[in-house]
Chains A and B, each alone.
Chain A
Amino acid sequence: MKRANVAILGAPPRFHSLLAHVLSQNCRARVVAAEQADICIIDLDGHGAGELLAAERRRQPPRPLILLSLREVEGEEGVWLKKPLQSRELAQALERILERQERPAPQRPSAGADLPEPRSPAGDIDPTADEAAFYEPRDYLQNLLVAAYRQALATEMTLRIDLGWEPIVIYPRQRLVWVDADDRKLRAFCRLPLHRVVRLRGEGGPQTVIQPDPEAGLREPPPGAQRMDAFLWKVAWWNAAGRLPRSVAPDRPLQLRQWPNLTRYWHPPQALPIAALLYRRAQTTLAAARVLRLPMAEVAGFVSAASALQLLRFPEVHAAATEPVTEAPRVSERQGLFQRIMKRLRGK
Chain B
Amino acid sequence: MKYRKLIFAGPVGVGKTTAIASISDEPPIQTDAAASDLTRLRKPATTVALDYGVLHLPDGGKVHLYGTPGQERFDFMWDILTEGGIGLILLIDNNRADPLHDLRRFLDSFRSFVASTGLAVGVTRMDLKAQPPLEAYHHELARLGFRAPVLEVDARRRADVSLLIQALLLHIDPGLSIEGGEHEPTASP
Binds A, one of B12-20, B28-36, B96-104, B167-175: B167-175
Residue numbers in A under 8 Å from B183 (CB-CB)? 262, 265-269, 271
Residue numbers in A under 8 Å from B189 (CB-CB)? 176, 225-227
A13: nearest chain-B partner, CB-CB: B182
Which residues of B43-80 are within 8 A (CB) of A? Answer: 55-59, 61, 63
| A344 CB to nearest B CB, Å | 5
Docked pose: A280 CA to B162 CA in angstroms: 21
Docked pose: A16 CA to B129 CA in angstroms: 38
Interface size on B, residues (CB 8 A): 48
Take A176-B189, A261-B152, A263-B160 as given contacts and tell me if A346 and B180 are in contact as well, using a CB distance cutoff of 8 Å.
yes
Residue numbers in A under 8 Å from B145 (CB-CB)? none
Whether, in the assembled complex, A314 has its beta carbon less than 8 Å from a beta carbon of chain B, the answer is no
A341 and B169 contact, CB distance less than 8 A: yes
Residue numbers in A under 8 Å from B184 (CB-CB)? 183, 266
Residue numbers in B under 8 Å from A342 (CB-CB)? 166, 169, 176-178
| B163 CB to nearest A CB, Å | 5
| In-complex Cβ contact of A14 among B152, B178, B181 (8 A) | B181
B160 and A341 contact, CB distance less than 8 A: no
Whether, in the assembled complex, A112 has its beta carbon less than 8 Å from a beta carbon of chain B, the answer is no
| B48 CB to nearest A CB, Å | 28
A interface secondary structure, majority: helix
Whether, in the assembled complex, A276 has its beta carbon less than 8 Å from a beta carbon of chain B, the answer is yes
| A164 CB to nearest B CB, Å | 27
Take A227-B189, A343-B58, A344-B58 as given contacts and tell me if A280 and B174 are in contact as well, using a CB distance cutoff of 8 Å.
yes
Residue numbers in B under 8 Å from A138 (CB-CB)? none
B185 and A273 contact, CB distance less than 8 A: no
Whether, in the assembled complex, B37 has its beta carbon less than 8 Å from a beta carbon of chain A, the answer is no
Residue numbers in B under 8 Å from A205 (CB-CB)? none
| In-complex Cβ contact of A270 among B138, B171, B178 (8 A) | B178
Whether, in the assembled complex, A339 has its beta carbon less than 8 Å from a beta carbon of chain B, the answer is yes
| A340 CB to nearest B CB, Å | 4
Whether, in the assembled complex, A345 has its beta carbon less than 8 Å from a beta carbon of chain B, the answer is yes
Whether, in the assembled complex, A63 has its beta carbon less than 8 Å from a beta carbon of chain B, the answer is no
Whether, in the assembled complex, A230 has its beta carbon less than 8 Å from a beta carbon of chain B, the answer is yes
Take A272-B167, A345-B165 as given contacts and tell me if A258 and B178 are in contact as well, using a CB distance cutoff of 8 Å.
no
Residue numbers in A under 8 Å from B130 (CB-CB)? 175
Interface residues of A (CB under 8 A from B): 13-14, 175-176, 183, 224-227, 230, 257-259, 261-273, 275-277, 279-280, 329, 333-335, 337-347
What are the 3 closest A-B residue pairs judged by CB atoms, nearest first? A276-B170, A329-B175, A346-B180
